[in-house]
Amino acid sequence: MMGEKTAARDVASRNMTAMGNKADWIVTLCASCASHLKHNYPQLFADDPEMHEKAQRFADKVVAFSTLMNDILRVPQDAFTSPAVKTTYHAPCHLCRGMGVRKAPHELIRKAGLPFSPAAEEETCCGFGGSYSGKFPQISAQILESKLADVAATGAEQLITECRDASCSCAAVPRRRD
């Protein structure tokens, strides 16, 4: 995303070698990272058919955490022991728009038995994604202020999102075998 295509291809190649054949699923708690792994890896190797195919196989394994939990592992309602705290949700930009994941987070909130109070601007940017907050801190702060006001308007006691923070943690998860 910063124009360092050679470095990006090198990192992608190393990641694909390290995880590609050893993992059934590749999960990250950062929607920006997941979107990058899924959509940009194949594009990085568009000029190399063999590597492009390898990148596409890798990308096909990338799933969002909520998708893994709800749609693949099908975590049941009785797996949750959450207290019934009024909850709202922030959909990270790269999760809802980049990955197209909208249903699974809501379904997990429902399964957890959390009273849900939707935010009017649930899918509106929080201003933090990627390097944006570092490059444009004043604009980012204004966007965040608006986002937090929208969250406060829900009356929720907790905000749930599917993005860990600015430091991304990627992990390979083996497929359940039962």
Please indicate, yes or no, whether residues 88 and 117 belong to a single structural domain of this protein: yes
pLDDT of residue 117: 95
Are 78 and 47 in the same domain? no
pTM of the model: 0.80
Domain count across the chain: 2
Q: Mark whether 95 and 112 lie in a shared domain.
A: yes
For residue 17, give every residue at least 6 positions away whose Cβ sits within 8 Å of its Cβ, in sequence order, or none: none
- Same domain (yes/no): 58, 78: no
41 and 116 housed in the same domain = no
- Say if residue 77 is in the same domain as residue 157: yes
Distance CA 133, CA 140 (A): 5
Three-state secondary structure readout of 75-107: CCHHHCCCCCCCEEEECCHHHHHHCCCCHHHHH
Are 68 and 136 in contact by the 8 Å Cβ rule? The answer is: no
DSSP string, 13-64: HHHHHHHTTT-SEEEES-HHHHHIIIIIHHHHTTT-HHHHHHHHHHHHTEEE
**Residues 62 and 77 both lie in one domain:** no
One domain for residues 80 and 153: yes
pLDDT at 129: 67
Same domain, 35 and 17: yes
Evaluate whether residue 106 is within a structural domain: yes
Q: Is residue 178 part of a domain?
A: no
Task: From residue 55, give the alpha-carbon distance in Å to each of 13, 38, 49, 60, 154.
Answer: 8, 9, 10, 9, 41
In the DSSP assignment, the letter for residue 71 is: I
**What pLDDT does 72 receive?**
95
pLDDT tens-digit profile, the chain (178 residues) = 667 889 999 999 999 999 867 889 999 888 888 999 999 999 999 999 999 999 999 999 999 999 999 999 999 999 998 788 999 999 988 899 989 999 999 999 999 999 999 999 999 888 876 677 788 889 988 988 899 999 999 999 999 998 765 433 333 333 333 3
Same domain flag for 49 and 124: no
Helix (H, G, I), strand (E, B) or coil at 159: strand
Residue-number span of the structural domain to which 83 is assigned: 73-161
Residue 166 has a pLDDT of 43
Identify whether residues 103 and 131 lie together within a single domain.
yes
Same domain, 96 and 126: yes
pLDDT of the residue at 26: 93
Residues 147/90, Cβ–Cβ less than 8 Å: yes
pLDDT of res. 158: 93
| pLDDT value for 120 | 95
